Structure 1
Amino acid sequence: MARKLLLGQMRVQEIHHRDGRLSYTIVQPGGPLHQPADRYLVQYEGRGTDRTYAYLLVDHLRWLEMEGLSIETVRFEDLERYMGAVGAKVSIPFGSPWRIGKRPYGNSALSGAAACLKGFYIHQAGLGCNRALGQQLDLRRMPTKADRSRAFLGHVASTMPTNPLAPRRTRRRHPKMLPDGARGYLLEVVNSVRDHMVVDWLSDGGFRVGELCGLHLSDLHLRANAGCGECRWPHVHVCHRDGLNNRARAKTKHPWALEDGVIRGGLIKRVSPAMIHSYFEYMTGEYPRDAAHGMLLVQQHRPGRGLPWAAEGARKMVARAGIRAALGRIRPHMFRHSFANSVLDASNGNLVVTRDAGGWASVEVVDEIYAHVDINDPVFDAALRTAWGEA
């Protein structure tokens, strides 16, 4: 019993900096820093993966403790066993799956864990700890034809890093999209103008829910030829901010600035007429006049009425609406998949237009397509209007 309590006390600690930044580290039972983990995680501060790596790493460190291992004694075979345990969906020969009571890692999380562990143990080896394991993980491979095509690597590199812990790559050919007609059904059952606006913005904007809940009113340039001069159509600037009261934040960190009272930079996303219409209905009908935080989405029920709305609240609202509309479990990210599919169809398979319409920052997409579409381009405009049903 005491052993379980000890395992549960190693945890991720959020650190609030005076300048508003957030960083993450791992603390041991009693409060001291886990120094090897802290020295590793500090490299990723401000890079968007610090929080994810912290939680992936703390899972691994708890497992080491349960197995009676340490970062000095763990072997490559142990890491293979760990990767099998965190991804196990059923009991395995060594007993129950790791993370009892929690969902096993999916393929994407396993890939993230593999990258995190490889980096962690190579970093330790560089400091003189468990060098044998570091050598086993620090492998290279010949670049493939796709590698050479995407970055002309034949002229600049002869080998590339590989990860022996990574799971076999599987591409989901049919991502979980919305059922046919879901938008109309959801709009019939939502309970407020705010929720109506959320469905419209998720549908036509392809937002991640963290991006949507992190928007400020100053980020919205909903008139043509806005003062930022970066897009002549109505648009929004998705800006990564740390330390928001609702803990929402954009996934990608595009540089942005507030200059002369005008937001510039960030991830620029076009908005549809339906999005603008539902926004003005919300602002004139439900938005609290005394809200001083300046954020777009607010809670509507006490005790937090008028405070910024958290992403979890948006997820639950969409899920409840899906159940009322007899659509089953609906998640906000389904809107993003459906948006991508609509833009891809409307642009005749133009991956560059689709990437920039939704603001994808996937490594695969960025590496495979060395181009950037002009947000004012007629092809881009036509694809969005077709996806919005206005062509």
Structure 2
Amino acid sequence: MAMRVVVGDLRVQRIDRRSGRRSWTIVWPEGTEHREADRFLREHDGSGTQRTYAYLLVDHLRWLERECLTLDRVVLRDLERYMGIVGAEVTMPLGEPWRAGKRPYGHAALSTTAACLKGFYLHQAALGVNAELGRRLDKRRLPTRVDRRRAFLGHTTSSMPANPLAPSGLRRRHPKMLPDGARDRLLASVRSARDRLVVTWLADGGLRIGELCGLHLVDLHLREDAACGQCRSPHLHVCHRPDNPNRAEAKTKHPWRVEDDAVTGGLVKRVSPAMIHTYFDYMSTEYRCGRADHGMLLVQLHGVGAGLPWAPVGARRMLARAGDRAGLGKVRPHQFRHSFTSAVLDASDGNLLIARDAGGWASAAMVDEVYGHVDVHDRAFDAALRRVWEQRR
């Protein structure tokens, strides 16, 4: 079954497979696939990146149609001009019909767009299309101090990939973090134990909303010395399950399995005392065991769907309403993740490895392998998380 999302002439199409997995591609108005885009997107099949790249790429392809440019005629200057247009805060002289009514890209969106376009045109160059543009994009640079700190074997690295389309300026603090005191104000404005759990787990765990809504009860090891043997302290396992009934799934795909009724593997994330407290409050007051044969953590509380798995869109709407009541404006789940990572960096004196493992982040420079890994038993890792949790109590 395929679900079409119309985006002007070219459109992004979602493909729901029988296995429960979803893929994304780009098609022409008559329904035929855009062959070049589909080949590139297939390289990211099964990942959250594929959906993001599809929506970014469809904007670019529509711009090429407007400019009467074919893939073999695009030059680096054209791509630089496109990056300037999508990030501009003013309307260009001839308007922007392919992005009518859309906001200009921010710094993070521009960085992702640069990576998408570089990958797309390098893919075309590998197929023999516009090899000159591929050479212009395939640049290298000397590693910076930050690059060397990210990799345990960084002293052996002589060069790093460079993207001439990427926006200049590195930012440690994400511009879309929560305002100071937002957590307490949100906790005061939400109206159920489940919603207090969501706010607390997003704030203290740095979870993505798909990871949180995709959790099963078996993934939670909230007592010390759990049967999995992977972490002595209370923790949870983020496991990628594409067949969840609420369509929530983890972005990362760490291997996991169930042995002796205990989950092992996945992405192991530590759990704060406040997270444990809100869990037991929710389970003892609102969790509907009679309808919870699905085994998922978050359920709907009201209506005909009470007891069924709660979808991420429901959590997003709840946070938006709570943010309006608290006077914070529209609150988005990912703001908690940015604030959590920044707080861990501050508490660990800028240790990027601790921040990466605490939040489950993956550096774009580390494509296939992470050289440095912080053990979940490490004292510095434990102290950094406890300092963050203590500050938020």
Residues 259 and 141 from structure 1, CA distance in 2 versus in 1: closer, same or farther, beyond 3 angstroms?
same
Query: Which residue does 2:162 correspond to in 1?
Result: 162
Query: Which residue does 1:387 correspond to in 2?
Result: 388
Q: 1:296-317 CA deviation, whole Å, 9 max, x = no partner?
A: 1122233543332222221221
Give me the whole-angstrom Cα distance separating, in 2, the residues matched to 1:382 and 1:153.
Answer: 25
Indicate the larger mover: 145-154 or 252-261. Answer: 145-154
Query: Which residue does 2:298 correspond to in 1?
Result: 297
| 2:178–2:339 contact (8 Å) kept in structure 1 | yes
Query: Which residue does 1:132 correspond to in 2?
Result: 132
Residues 176 and 282 from structure 1, CA distance in 2 versus in 1: closer, same or farther, beyond 3 angstroms?
same
Q: Give the structure-1-normalised TM-score.
A: 0.87
User: Percent identity over the alignment?
Assistant: 63
Query: Which residue does 2:181 correspond to in 1?
Result: 181
Residues 112 and 184 from structure 1, CA distance in 2 versus in 1: closer, same or farther, beyond 3 angstroms?
closer
Query: Which residue does 1:231 correspond to in 2?
Result: 231
Give me the whole-angstrom Cα distance separating, in 1, the residues matched to 2:45 and 2:102.
Answer: 27
Unpaired stretches in structure 1, ≥5 consecutive residues = 1-5
Residues 342 and 53 from structure 1, CA distance in 2 versus in 1: closer, same or farther, beyond 3 angstroms?
closer
Return the letter of the residue paired with 2:13.
Q
Query: Which residue does 1:141 correspond to in 2?
Result: 140
Give me the whole-angstrom Cα distance separating, in 2, the residues matched to 1:7 and 1:65.
Answer: 14
Residues 213 and 122 from structure 1, CA distance in 2 versus in 1: closer, same or farther, beyond 3 angstroms?
same
Secondary structure of 1:389 counterpart: helix
Count matched residues: 383
Query: Which residue does 2:12 correspond to in 1?
Result: 12
Return the letter of the residue paired with 2:213.
C
Residues 356 and 131 from structure 1, CA distance in 2 versus in 1: closer, same or farther, beyond 3 angstroms?
closer
Q: Give the structure-2-normalised TM-score.
A: 0.86
- Cα distance, 1:207 vs. partner? 1.4
Return the letter of the residue paired with 1:8.
G
- Cα distance, 1:260 vs. partner? 3.3
- Cα distance, 1:103 vs. partner? 1.8
Q: 1:74-99 CA deviation, whole Å, 9 max, x = no partner?
A: 33332222222222221123434751
Indicate the larger mover: 265-274 or 77-86. Answer: 77-86
Query: Which residue does 1:24 correspond to in 2?
Result: 24
Indicate the larger mover: 56-65 or 370-379. Answer: 370-379
Query: Which residue does 1:109 correspond to in 2?
Result: 109
Residues 297 and 34 from structure 1, CA distance in 2 versus in 1: closer, same or farther, beyond 3 angstroms?
same
Unpaired stretches in structure 2, ≥5 consecutive residues = 1-5
- Cα distance, 1:267 vs. partner? 0.9
Return the letter of the residue paired with 1:323.
D
| 1:193–1:282 contact (8 Å) kept in structure 2 | yes
Give me the whole-angstrom Cα distance separating, in 2, the residues matched to 1:154 and 1:165.
Answer: 27
| 1:10–1:26 contact (8 Å) kept in structure 2 | yes
Residues 320 and 229 from structure 1, CA distance in 2 versus in 1: closer, same or farther, beyond 3 angstroms?
same
Residues 202 and 122 from structure 1, CA distance in 2 versus in 1: closer, same or farther, beyond 3 angstroms?
closer
Secondary structure of 1:14 counterpart: strand
Give me the whole-angstrom Cα distance separating, in 1, the residues matched to 2:303 and 2:175.
Answer: 37
Return the letter of the residue paired with 2:36.
P
Return the letter of the residue paired with 2:337.
R
Residues 85 and 303 from structure 1, CA distance in 2 versus in 1: closer, same or farther, beyond 3 angstroms?
farther
Query: Which residue does 1:278 correspond to in 2?
Result: 278
Residues 172 and 188 from structure 1, CA distance in 2 versus in 1: closer, same or farther, beyond 3 angstroms?
same
Secondary structure of 2:25 counterpart: strand
| 2:59–2:98 contact (8 Å) kept in structure 1 | no
Give me the whole-angstrom Cα distance separating, in 1, the residues matched to 2:383 and 2:7.
Answer: 55
Residues 39 and 324 from structure 1, CA distance in 2 versus in 1: closer, same or farther, beyond 3 angstroms?
same
Secondary structure of 2:8 counterpart: helix
Secondary structure of 2:302 counterpart: coil
